[in-house]
Chains A and B, each alone.
Chain A
Amino acid sequence: MTATRRSPRPPSGFLWRAPTRPGGATPLPLERKTGVEYDTAWARRYPVRLVRAMVLDDVTIPLVRTVAKPTIYGRGAIEHLEGPLIVTANHTSHLDTALLLSCLPPSRRHHTVVAAAADYFFDRHWKATLSAFGLGAIPMERQKVNRRSADAAAELIDDGWSLVIFPEGGRSPHGWGQEFKGGAAYLARRCGVPVVPVHIRGARAVLPRGDDSIRSRLRRGEVQVRFGAPLWPNDGEDARRFSSRIEAAVALLADEAETDWWSARVRASRGESPPFRGPDVSPWRRAWSLPESADPVPRRETGVPGSGADGATAWDRR
């Protein structure tokens, strides 16, 4: 046996293997875009819309109606409106989007896009694809008006699409309302379309926010969805003031949900509507004063809840 020595050779098998990159070359940027950059146009092509419509009508909505049993009030206000609308609602549960879609008139339902948080629903490519396909979602920046996402939304509204948007910018951590951000008002003014205020009552009791699995959080319940009269921006009214008008309209619907149409209006006229964002007190008192409908627990439970102690699975040592 002889020991041979070869001179070092560059890596071979070029045509059979992917090429290695020379040290001096800069890699091309990754093609896939997420967040507000994600382009959802594909999800509004006819074949995709058709499939989405079928999934929405035959799977998603029946499921939502089974667990949440929505009762709709005041939909007459929008049934005969022509043209695109901006639908704004309070947001306490992941169920809200599907609930709202299920409560829109069918003709409008399939011509609606949903503004969804770019950093939550569009952060991964697969999530973006799923959101765009399943709900017709478009990415929207939560905190500020982003030129790109605003332009995209405005273009769609101009195209005749209605927009569902949650102006609170995310699900409420405590069940009370949060400040409405200006996006919906801005779009309404820019495109000259009306805003429909909606209040959803009881969704948090069906599927509260939380870290546990959806299955363990989900409880059956009854949900009320209240549509208010459409609001048009007044002349000379800026987006911020229009936005607070929208919030007030949703707050009125919230009071109506707890009392009745008349008392809510009387109280509103006297400026005595209960605060939409809850009392300005410590967290526990806000939670304590939450109306029963917004609370994921019945006030006094009976029966035996699960007794499984975490980590107590290893019973025997020998």
Chain B
Amino acid sequence: MDRLGLIGKPSDWLIASHYDASTLRERMHIELVEIPIEEVTSLGEVEGGEQGALVIYERLRAIVDQYQLNGLTLRCFDLLTTVKNTGCIALAKLNAEGIPAACEGDVPTLITMMMAKNITGCPGFQCNPARVNTETGQMLWAHCTIPYNMVESYTLDTHFESGIGVAIHGELPLGDYTLVKVSGDLSRIFAEDVQLTRNQYEPNLCRTQVWLQTKQVIPYLLSKPIANHHVLVRGHHAQSFLKYLG
């Protein structure tokens, strides 16, 4: 049984990212462990740069050990007003260490990241759709953290929405990837093999920004998306994901 920590409740804006704990237990042998956000916010205000971000990492690492977690999702925006820094570096490090770690208390995305680890042995990049080109099939996806072991290089920046703390602008290798998402009750899954064609770095977007060449993603996203966040995984594995839930 995998133990996944839900540190704080899902963010208020995740209105379609619900989950069914009993289905997750029965079909994926996942136990969700609810952990109060105060276990992190009790740190109080930390230093506002990388040093403070590493304090958050150490606290999350201790929570992983204390609760014997195999993965976690963090209601990270609560840190902005309490700890006055971000969870971006902490999640990047945990993911690189083999602990799937998702932002915003998003359980379906964490489940998708666990699937990615089980199927490919690799971490996944939790990302938002940011732009679409319906004529070419090109799409821009972005987020403020990314597993350190998915990038060729990175620089540190502030977190997009808040302008504070530390976020990561990563540059990913070009080539084959899979874009995937499963719903929190496991009733739906979307997976498509895509190409990462370009990295970019613009303001007014989350800091890691990648362009994907897609086929079916855009019509799916503009009509029947499985919520907002999706997961990008290195390599072409769409068929393996689609078979995973039987």
The answer to whether A binds B is no
B residues sitting closer than 8 Å to A (CB atoms) are none
